[in-house]
Amino acid sequence: MKRSILMFCLALTSLASCSSTDDSDKNTSDGFDRTALLTYTADQRIIPIFKDLQAELTVLESTRADFENNPNSTQLEQLSAAWLSAYKVWQHLQMYNLGQAATTSLDAERGFRTYFNRYPVDQQRIEELVAAGDYDFEAIPTYNAQGFPGLDFLLHGTATGDAQAIDKFTSNTLAANYQQYLKDLVAHMQQVNTRLLNDWQNEYRATFINNTQNGQDGSFNKMANDFVFFYEKGFRAEKFGIPAGVFSNQPLPDRVEGLYKKDVSKALALAALDAIENAFNGKAYQQQTEGPAFKQYLEFLDRSDLVQNINQQFEDSREAINQLDDNFYLQVQNNNSQMTQTYDVIQAAVPKLKVDMKQALDFSIDYQDSDGD
């Protein structure tokens, strides 16, 4: 009798184990080669983008040194052009908050994005740090005073008491401090990017490719989450919704990307949309070839209809964005209704990505939002 009861209990335990809903126990069973997808993403997209950003940052440092040696308007314009070129490459990298990139800063949600594109930048904090001449870009108090937005203020913004942006580096009593801050900021961006690129090339690439489990810790799940998060938050909300006042009681034009240069907001947004389209369709970085990605995965599952709908939404978003002013600061001030209309067009793809694609590809969303889908 006791043996029968014991066997019954063991059977119940086994049944409970088999019916566990823990995502970590799930295995991919749809037949799609996720290893090939992860390999292609690492080798044809992520690593080449890191390399390109490193090259762009090298050019940025070179033009910075030229400006330091000869601080005039022409050199500043060249430095500004190098900043914008690197900033556009960053738009392609931001969605890959994976490996060390996700843990490199103390901001658990933003990861390496903290060091590259946290905006709006804190102008007052930058001026305080410059005046002190003592700062640590790894420390939380500097998180809103660095990256591409920090460079935007240094190259294009006017410091307290200055008439022109260049005055910070020439006639300002703290000109030497501003030059040093600019030098240290660029150097830190180079250091972070080098560290992450080396990690991908030497260690994390193999970890990323070999982790094909279907749970939240699986590489595909993490990559898919980063992609949807970037579309919903980094693209839709930060570049359009927040400045337009979608999540507040009034428009917030000072929250646009590229606030101080101003006329690059649209260019950065379009670069981000390029990055999103290329990642979805599996376009190799700076090449015309396509490989395994979300598009091919969906087509493998006979969801070409969803692929078509999503790509059409991207096309509609591009058309809407192209109708906006190059300067989103002026766009919000002068015709914010057009900005909110563009946001609505972009928003239409969120449920397709976050609900339809998620269900088709069987990954789970691991972040929360309060603005609905």
Q: What distance in Å separates the CA atoms of residue 76 and residue 179, rounded to the nearest whole number?
A: 12
pLDDT digits (tens, 9 = 90+) for 110-123: 999 999 999 999 99
Q: Are residues 252 and 270 in the same domain?
A: yes
The domain boundary, picked from 188, 212, 236, lies at 212
* Burial class of residue 301, CB neighbours in 10 A (0-12, 13-18, 19+): middle
Q: What distance in Å separates the CA atoms of residue 344 and residue 363, rounded to the nearest whole number?
A: 25
How many domains, the chain? 2
Tokens representing residue 318 in the block: 């591009």
Q: What distance in Å separates the CA atoms of residue 303 and residue 30, rounded to the nearest whole number?
A: 13
Q: Are residues 260 and 151 in the same domain?
A: no
Q: What is the rounded average pLDDT for all residues in the chain?
A: 92
* Burial class of residue 324, CB neighbours in 10 A (0-12, 13-18, 19+): buried
Q: What distance in Å separates the CA atoms of residue 208 and residue 336, rounded to the nearest whole number?
A: 42
Q: Are residues 326 and 287 in the same domain?
A: yes
pLDDT digits (tens, 9 = 90+) for 2-14: 334 333 333 433 3
Q: Are residues 193 and 317 in the same domain?
A: no
| Residue 214 pLDDT > 90 | no
Tokens representing residue 303 in the block: 């969801």
**Domain for residue 14, yes or no?**
no
Q: What is the CATH number of the domain that holds 101?
A: 1.20.1420.20
Q: What distance in Å separates the CA atoms of residue 22 and residue 302, rounded to the nearest whole number?
A: 27
Q: Are residues 142 and 183 in the same domain?
A: yes
Q: Are residues 137 and 237 in the same domain?
A: no
The domain boundary, picked from 212, 247, 274, lies at 212
Q: Are 261 and 156 in contact (CB under 8 A)?
A: yes
**Domain for residue 25, yes or no?**
no
**Domain for residue 195, yes or no?**
yes
Name the percent of the chain lying above pLDDT 70: 91
**Domain for residue 283, yes or no?**
yes
The confidence band for 370, taking pLDDT boundaries of 50, 70 and 90, is low
Q: How many CB atoms lie within 10 A of CB 144?
A: 19
Predicted local distance difference test score (pLDDT) of residue 109: 82
Nearest of 171, 88, 195 to residue 187 by alpha carbon: 195
**Domain for residue 67, yes or no?**
yes
| Residue 250 pLDDT > 60 | yes
pLDDT digits (tens, 9 = 90+) for 270-329: 999 999 999 999 999 999 899 999 999 999 999 999 999 999 999 999 999 999 999 999
**Domain for residue 354, yes or no?**
yes
Q: Are residues 294 and 266 in the same domain?
A: yes
Q: Are 369 and 232 in contact (CB under 8 A)?
A: yes
Q: Are residues 279 and 136 in the same domain?
A: no
**Domain for residue 223, yes or no?**
yes
Q: Are residues 324 and 293 in the same domain?
A: yes
Q: What average pLDDT does the segment 45-58 reach? A: 98
The domain boundary, picked from 212, 235, 250, lies at 212
| Residue range of the domain that includes 308 | 214-373
**Domain for residue 367, yes or no?**
yes
Report the largest interatomic distance among the alpha carbons of the chain, rounded to a whole angstrom.
Answer: 95
Q: Are 87 and 52 in contact (CB under 8 A)?
A: no
Q: Are residues 153 and 278 in the same domain?
A: no
Tokens representing residue 86 in the block: 């690197």
pTM of the model: 0.91
| Residue 331 pLDDT > 90 | yes
CA distances from 132 to 45, 128, 129, 136, 180 (A): 41, 6, 5, 12, 12
Q: Are residues 39 and 188 in the same domain?
A: yes
Q: How many residues does the chain have?
A: 373
Q: What distance in Å separates the CA atoms of residue 350 and residue 340, rounded to the nearest whole number?
A: 15
Q: Are residues 55 and 184 in the same domain?
A: yes
Tokens representing residue 75 in the block: 């050199």
Predicted local distance difference test score (pLDDT) of residue 213: 86
Print burial letters for 1-15: b (CB count within 10 Å at least 16), e (below 16).
eeeeeeeeeeeeeee
